[in-house]
Structure 1
Amino acid sequence: MQRLGIAMAWNVFKFCTALRGLGSIMILLVLGVVGVSYYAVVITNYAPDLFHGGLGSVAAAVFVLILFHFLLAMLLWSYFSVVFTDPGKVPSNWKPAMDEEIGDTMPLTGPDFSGNDFTPLQTAVGSPSNSRIRYCRKCNQMKPPRCHHCSVCGRCVLKMDHHCVWVVNCVGALNYKYFLLFLFYTFLETTVVTLSLLPNFVAFFSDGEIPGTPGTLATTFLAFVLNFAFALSVLGFLIMHISLVARNTTTIEAYEKRTSPKWCYDLGRKKNFEQVFGTDKRYWFIPAYSEEDLRRMPVLQGLEYPTQPDFDTRSSNNHVQYNYISS
């Protein structure tokens, strides 16, 4: 029975790879929602007002159409940046090393830093009694700090947050900012569509006069319902991730450290924000980083993460102090 239970558990994990097959379907679904919204807002309701409406209607149509197209462009730019950007893989030549000059730094604590993830590596830090380095048994390689193995992608991902079926990719160190911008612009776009179609929705239930064919009315109704539902769901997701950025943690880490009184990577809201969005304000709202930030902020590469200066681990015999570098 025990062997049967283990076999069943293993088969369940094999189903994770089936999520890869949802890739094209989820992308088509996203594009489908965009298409329905575009047809309802632009073609059916507001573009005709540019040619057949009064001065007030034309002004309102211009405002809605400009805002709609701008947010749609930013949404699609951010979305495909998440889809096509590698979230971060462990370099083949990466290895942890002790900073002999500084001597302290990154504590290995919490559920992610204990148990079977560790393999004694005497050559890495010296004494095998206190040298526990995170090691992925599936990838057969050492794991940088904040790195996790994704069962769907089948590899370790730097600062992995989660695997998202909507973007057909992992969300990690190198595309987390793009994912947050995708959520941000999706919320704004769906809110604009909902508000712009609200008068038609109200008129539909109040027996008011609504111009258009039954097909256009059905499309408008569908677009309103879909965008209203997406706006509410994305808002909750966006609020959650804003709180994660403020504490410099990920979805996985927030779950793992739920009983930890202190988080060593929490450097304050300003620095935590900059570790995701960079310091150049011109790039905060676009899915890209400045060359200056990429050059002087190693944290954006996903391998090195500063910790609190006053985070003291020397009082615990179970903690080992390392400074992680790449070679």
Structure 2
Amino acid sequence: MAWNVFKFCTALRGLGSVMILMVLGVVGVSYYAVVLTNYGPTLFESGGVASFTAFAVVLFHGLLAMLLWSYFSVVLTDPGGVPPNWRPVIMDEEGGEAVPLVGSEFSSPILFMQHQSTLISDPGDPRIRFCKKCNQFKPPRSHHCSVCGRCVLKMDHHCVWVVNCVGALNYKFFLLFLLYTFLETTLVTLSLLPHFIAFFNDGEIPGTPGALATTFLTFVLNLAFALSVLGFLIMHISLVMGNTTTIEAYEKKATPKWRYDLGRRKNFEQQVFGIDKRYWLIPVYSEEDLRRIPELEGLEYPTNPDLDSRL
């Protein structure tokens, strides 16, 4: 009997509170090492050193606030699910208009599967897709998550760190979480670097042995996170520029031209971050962007007409 690894995907749900506590634990240790142990006690000193210390502490708190805001936005925001009564839109060849898939014989997904060969001239048509696990139609670019047990709109991946799927409605928040995590961990690493060097050079380091151990641990943790998150950030920036998700990156290998690639600017603005530049660096969308860009809701995605004609 073949071993089905997906049967054990639901076990990842039990990591929920554990992973959140782990993230908060790393944040707490970093706060203790940077603010309470090393930089906080020197805030009221005079001179240029105190000015730099104040700047570092303020910047640390600002990045930390944005990191936590972005993180909990990813955790608490539903990535997008398929509406129960959603039906794909097909092209009426006689009228030349897009119409929803309706009718008595195709109102049931089971009947649709029985008549699928007569309805779809192109089996690879991304507009008409069906999930056998959910027993319902699913929009283009959506995928079934074995951990969440449902189809997720424009699913990128299921992230154990955020205890949630990353999809259409929280992908921007996830990218901002990566950005602010990289900036915060880099700042902490640079702030503690002199103490780390002094530790190995037998230099004089103020503080108790426990504080020194915490400083050493914080430096190593933040350096590791900064390097690993940088790799993820670069990867996702390239995905955004090509309007591709992590899952679609594998599908794209078999396709010479990606039909959803609208150009870097449109991919960035209309597919992920919105047109209003004031909201690019915060984990929210403007009401105007949500109203005029239906792609941000995860159900409609325009394709490149030049690529469609070639395909």
TM-score for both structures, normalised by structure 2: 0.90
Aligned-partner Cα distance in 2 for 1:197–1:60 = 14
* TM superposition shift of 1:21: 0.4
Contact 1:146–1:158 (CA<8 Å) still a contact in 2? Answer: yes
Aligned-partner Cα distance in 1 for 2:308–2:214 = 60
- 69, 92, 97: which one aligns with 1:77: 69
- Residue of structure 2 equivalent to 1:259: 254
- 29, 52, 57: which one aligns with 2:22: 29
Contact 1:120–1:128 (CA<8 Å) still a contact in 2? Answer: no
Which consecutive unaligned segments of at least 5 residues does structure 2 have?
99-111
* TM superposition shift of 1:221: 0.5
Aligned-partner Cα distance in 2 for 1:31–1:263 = 39
- Residue of structure 1 equivalent to 2:38: 45
- Residue of structure 2 equivalent to 1:291: 287
* TM superposition shift of 1:97: 1.8
Aligned-partner Cα distance in 2 for 1:152–1:236 = 25
- Residue of structure 2 equivalent to 1:187: 182
- 296, 299, 303: which one aligns with 1:300: 296
Q: In the alignment, does 2:274 pair up with 1:278?
A: yes
- 279, 297, 305: which one aligns with 1:309: 305
Higher relative contact order (CA 8 A, sep 6+): 1
Which 4+ stretches in 1 moved above 3 angstroms? 99-104, 119-123
Which consecutive unaligned segments of at least 5 residues does structure 1 have?
105-118, 317-327
Contact 2:259–2:308 (CA<8 Å) still a contact in 1? Answer: no
Aligned-partner Cα distance in 1 for 2:57–2:81 = 40
Contact 2:259–2:303 (CA<8 Å) still a contact in 1? Answer: yes
Q: Deviations over 1:176-211 (max 9, x none)?
A: 000000000000000000000000001001111101
Query: Match for 1:20: what amino acid?
Result: R
* TM superposition shift of 1:57: 2.2
Aligned-partner Cα distance in 1 for 2:164–2:152 = 11
Aligned-partner Cα distance in 2 for 1:137–1:148 = 11
Query: Match for 1:278: what amino acid?
Result: G
* TM superposition shift of 1:312: 3.3
Q: Deviations over 1:122-162 (max 9, x none)?
A: 59xx9435264310000000010000000000000000000
Aligned-partner Cα distance in 2 for 1:86–1:234 = 23
Contact 1:248–1:265 (CA<8 Å) still a contact in 2? Answer: yes
> Is 127-136 or 18-27 further displaced after alignment?
127-136
- 38, 54, 70: which one aligns with 1:62: 54
* TM superposition shift of 1:55: 1.5
Q: How does 1:97-116 map to 2 (within 5 A)?
A: 97-100=89-92, 102=96
Contact 1:181–1:287 (CA<8 Å) still a contact in 2? Answer: yes
- Residue of structure 1 equivalent to 2:121: 130
* TM superposition shift of 1:103: 5.5
Q: Deviations over 1:238-259 (max 9, x none)?
A: 0000000000000000012212
Aligned-partner Cα distance in 2 for 1:200–1:300 = 45
Contact 2:87–2:137 (CA<8 Å) still a contact in 1? Answer: yes
SS in 2 for 1:211: coil
- Residue of structure 2 equivalent to 1:116: none
Aligned-partner Cα distance in 1 for 2:39–2:258 = 50
- Residue of structure 2 equivalent to 1:320: none
- Residue of structure 2 equivalent to 1:15: 8
Question: Structure 1 residues 102 and 238 mapped into 2: Cα distance closer, same or farther (>3 Å)?
Answer: farther
Query: Match for 2:81: what amino acid?
Result: K
SS in 2 for 1:276: helix
- Residue of structure 2 equivalent to 1:170: 165
Query: Match for 1:138: what amino acid?
Result: K
TM-score for both structures, normalised by structure 1: 0.85
Question: Structure 1 residues 310 and 212 mapped into 2: Cα distance closer, same or farther (>3 Å)?
Answer: same
Q: Cα RMSD between the aligned structures?
A: 1.7
Question: Structure 1 residues 122 and 306 mapped into 2: Cα distance closer, same or farther (>3 Å)?
Answer: same
Q: In the alignment, does 2:206 pair up with 1:208?
A: no
